Amino acid sequence: MQRAMLAALCAAVPGAGLAQDAGADAPAMSYGQRPAHLVGQLEEGELRSTLEACLGDVPERTAFSIGHRGAPLMFPEHTVESNEAAARMGAGILECDVTFTADRELVCRHAQNDLHTTTDILTTDLAEKCAEPFTPASADAEASAECRTVDITLDEFRTLTPKMDAFDAAATSAEDYQGGVADWRTTLYADGATLMTHAESIRLFDALGADFTPELKAPVVEMPYEGWSQEDYAQAMIDEYREAGIDPSRVWPQSFDLADVRYWIENEPEFGRQAVYLMDEYDLDGYDPDDPSTWPQSIAELKDMGVNYIAPPLWMLVKLEDGEIVPNALADAAREADMGVITWTLERSGPLADGGGWYFQSIADAVDGDGDYLELLDVLAQDVGVVGVFSDWPATVTFYANCMGL
């Protein structure tokens, strides 16, 4: 039965590399080397001792571990291969960021306007269709371009080759613009990667034994688009799960737009009860997650709207108190309201010797090495009480969750 399903999936998703797993219930899981490496960076103490005792354990899939665009620390994001890697690391939930093409077909891309950094479009004949053509770097400006999924049709999208999300700001040619990958990432696994439509991601994730967290991305074109409203777009994403026969209990639809979340709550209640509000209040002037007077709405008010899950970034849930990482007011309010909390994105900051950048900004003074990935994860799980963590390398979260029985 499983062999037949995987064979059918390989036929349905061009380039799917699942053949080696045929006959298994799901891809064989492995933590690889990174969790052990991070444990070795921890200071001596209870957390290190606990995690060291688990290093020889056999991995198990867990919904606490969420693949953020698959496993993009080393694989091109939103590709078949990136998600296969995440599944092999035990991620129990996988993500397709959903946007649409010129012919209103849903595809997996982090943004509607990222094709110039995530694919080879600028080196193909489709470059002439880009909203903003490639402009080489000059003495006064960096190299630039903007290519959108809505600039091309689905058939044209399928001709593109994905790559690691990066660009060379000093490039004087479209070919050179393809570079710029951070030195702590890699291009080792980029060759032969395969783009996906949203419908293809559903079939793939199902066959990999994972559940689903699609994110409805904000369009860069004005809506309605050719008569297609934002509500139509939000409904189209849900419709593809219904058409695939997926139980709504396996789907956590996400959006930064609270109106999308409320649409699902009101019009697709089976899916809406697990809809996730991705909190971007950090963009508001004066916002402070530790000061409720600056919040546009309280957690209790969100709960009254029917929102059962919120997903703020890592730093919005914690603060430093006497040099220790502790929950902040937002985390406390979520717990008091019995609100499910998911957070993002672990392993996206690169090496933490310099404080961790944007994702660690509220605790930067306490961050000085890669062991702090696990220190923060422990606080989020044990003290904040998050129910899931997005990661660019899911093995780390899977290992921690398995060790702690989450």
Tokens of 70: 């698959």
Q: Are 217 and 233 in contact (CB under 8 A)?
A: no
**What pLDDT is recorded for position 25?**
57
pLDDT beyond 80 at 14 = no
Torsional class of 381: left (φ above 0), alpha (ψ -120 to 50), beta (otherwise): alpha
Q: What is the mean pLDDT of residues 229-239?
A: 98
pLDDT beyond 80 at 95 = yes
pLDDT beyond 70 at 18 = no
What does the DSSP assignment read for 6-63? HHHHHHHSTT---GGGTTSSSPPP---SHHHHHHHTSPSSHHHHHHHTTTTSPP--EE
What angle, rounded to 10 degrees, do the helices at 230-243 and 258-267 form? 50
**Which pLDDT tens digit goes with each residue over 356-405?**
999 999 999 999 999 999 999 999 999 999 999 999 999 999 999 999 99
**What pLDDT is recorded for position 26?**
75
pLDDT bucket at 8, cuts 50 / 70 / 90:
very low
User: Alpha carbon 88 to chain centroid distance?
Assistant: 16
Q: What is the mean pLDDT of residues 24-29?
A: 74
Q: Which residue has the higher pLDDT, 159 or 5?
A: 159
What DSSP state is assigned to residue 91? E
Q: Are 369 and 352 in contact (CB under 8 A)?
A: yes
Which sign, positive or negative, has the C-alpha torsion 55, 208, 27, 73? negative
Across the chain, what does the average pLDDT equal? 94
Q: What is the mean pLDDT of residues 147-151?
A: 98
**Which pLDDT tens digit goes with each residue over 336-360?**
999 999 999 999 999 999 899 999 9
Report how far residue 101's alpha carbon sits from residue 122's, in angstroms, rounded to the nearest whole number: 17
Report how far residue 393's alpha carbon sits from residue 115's, in angstroms, rounded to the nearest whole number: 22
CA distances from 86 to 11, 72, 188, 342 (A): 21, 9, 16, 18
3-state helix, strand, coil in the chain (%, to 5): 40, 15, 45
Domains and CATH numbers, the chain: 2-102+193-404 (3.20.20.190), 110-177 (no CATH)
Q: What is the mean pLDDT of residues 43-53?
A: 98
**Residue 231 amino acid letter:** E
**Which pLDDT tens digit goes with each residue over 57-86?**
999 999 999 999 999 999 999 999 999 999
**Which pLDDT tens digit goes with each residue over 296-326?**
999 999 999 999 999 999 999 999 999 999 9
Give percent above pLDDT 70 in the chain: 94
CA distances from 154 to 81, 108, 115, 130 (A): 20, 11, 13, 15
pLDDT beyond 80 at 12 = no
pLDDT beyond 70 at 22 = no
Q: What is the mean pLDDT of residues 144-166?
A: 98
Report how far residue 185's alpha carbon sits from residue 262's, in angstroms, rounded to the nearest whole number: 37
Report how far residue 18's alpha carbon sits from residue 208's, in angstroms, rounded to the nearest whole number: 9
Report how far residue 204's alpha carbon sits from residue 210's, in angstroms, rounded to the nearest whole number: 9
What angle, rounded to 10 degrees, do the helices at 198-207 and 80-88 form? 30
Name the nearest CA neighbour of 104 among 232, 246, 251. 232
278: part of which helix (H) or strand (E)?
Answer: strand 276-278
pLDDT beyond 70 at 276 = yes
Give percent above pLDDT 90 in the chain: 93
Name residues whose C-beta falls within 8 Å of residue 94's C-beta, 6 or more positions apart in sequence.
Answer: 66, 67, 70, 83, 86, 87, 201, 205, 208, 210, 211, 212, 213
**What pLDDT is recorded for position 51?**
98
Is residue 129 packed enough to be buried (19+ CB in 10 Å), middle (13-18) or exposed (0-12)?
middle
Q: What is the mean pLDDT of residues 142-162?
A: 98
Is residue 32 packed enough to be buried (19+ CB in 10 Å), middle (13-18) or exposed (0-12)?
middle
Tokens of 173: 């040619």
Q: Are 16 and 10 in contact (CB under 8 A)?
A: yes
pLDDT bucket at 27, cuts 50 / 70 / 90:
confident
Name the nearest CA neighbour of 110 among 287, 266, 256. 256
What angle, rounded to 10 degrees, do the helices at 230-243 and 198-207 form? 30
**What pLDDT is recorded for position 382?**
98
Please give the model's pTM, rounded to 2 decimal places. Answer: 0.94
**What pLDDT is recorded for position 4?**
36
With vertex at residue 241, the alpha carbon angle to CA 191 and CA 348, rounded to the nearest 5 degrees, is: 45
**Which pLDDT tens digit goes with each residue over 193-219?**
999 999 999 999 999 999 999 999 999
